[in-house]
Amino acid sequence: MQLKDEKNAEWKFGPGNIWFTSDTHFGHENIIRFCNRPFKDAAQMNEELIRRWNETVPEDGIVFHLGDFNSGGSKEWNEIMYRLNGRIYLILGNHDMKAYRSGYTGSRFEHITQQMSIRVGGQSIILNHNPFLAYGGAYRNVWQFFGHVHSGPRSHTGMDHPRLQYLFPRQYDVGVDNNDFRPISFAEVKVKIEAQVSASQQGRDWKECIGTWIEDKCQ
């Protein structure tokens, strides 16, 4: 059960049964080429993303989707969103705005917003579609999760990728391209954040820890 702290505008959750994801881009044919995704077409991509989501998240799981959920119209949204496990909180991305204004999202989502502050097991996290170059609490152990930039083992040459060098070690790209095309749990991302912070404190290049494909450098 979540509890919203009205004074601090912070939603509180227990540390178990929590997942994060972003940039599924269901129905977006061109995203396969843009991000070098290993799918032959949008139909195959949709089915594989749904399969991995439901394989990862139980029916009673809580998922925070950080935007760019679907690139289609009302038919495409309805075909996808009701097939996914969990109670989904949607943080709107740039590709979601038309759908939201047109009412395609319906009543499927627990909450829809452009930014969300949550506390999971005592850990404060800011959720936004875009990465922040500066945010409140960055030096006080507040984390920030984001999507949009499509970093990952197959997708690391995009226009936004060079900007990742300016991030803080307490930030993480929860997008599917960076996380085996599936949601990542709070427990998993906690390990990654702690590895990035540890590398930073030891004077190592913590940015080597950003990608799951080179996480062996962050042990």
* Residue bearing the bigger pLDDT, 141 or 49: 49
pLDDT of 2 higher than 60:
no
Residue range of the domain that includes 137:
3-184
The answer to whether residue 197 is domain-embedded is no
Overall number of domains in the chain: 1
Residue 3 pLDDT > 50: no
Residue 213 CB: number of other CB atoms within 10 A? 12
Q: Per-residue pLDDT tens for 163-207?
A: 777 888 999 999 999 999 999 999 999 999 999 988 888 877 766
The 10s digit of each residue's pLDDT in 43-80 is: 999 999 999 999 999 999 999 999 999 988 888 888 99
Is 75 within 8 Å of 55 (Cβ atoms)?
no
Which residues make Cβ contacts (< 8 Å) with residue 40, sequence separation at least 6? none
What's 89's domain CATH number? 3.60.21.10
Q: Do the domain assignments include residue 201? A: no
Residue 156, pLDDT score = 67
**Can you tell me the distance from the alpha carbon of 188 to that of 56, in angstroms, rounded to the nearest whole number?**
12
The size of the chain, in residues, is 219
Q: Which of 111, 109, 143, 147 is nearest to 128 (CA)?
A: 147
Short-list 144, 128, 137, CA closest to 91: 128
Residue 70 belongs to some domain of the structure: yes
SS3 118: strand
More reliable by pLDDT, 208 or 213: 208
Q: Which residues contact 192 (CB under 8 A, 6 or more apart)?
A: 172, 209, 212, 215, 218
Average pLDDT, the chain: 86
Determine, yes or no, domain membership for 207.
no
Structural contact between residues 79 and 106, judged by C-beta atoms closer than 8 angstroms: no
Predicted confidence (pLDDT) per residue in 94-138, tens digit: 888 887 888 888 888 999 999 999 999 999 999 999 999 888 888
Report the side by side order of strands in the sheet with 115-120. 3-5, 10-13, 115-120, 123-128, 143-146, 171-173
**200 in a domain, yes or no?**
no
Distance of alpha carbon 159 from alpha carbon 156, whole angstroms: 9
Query: Is there a domain that residue 86 lies in?
Result: yes
Is there a domain that residue 196 lies in? no
| Residue bearing tokens 């540890």 | 198
203 within some domain: no
Q: What is the DSSP letter of 70?
A: B
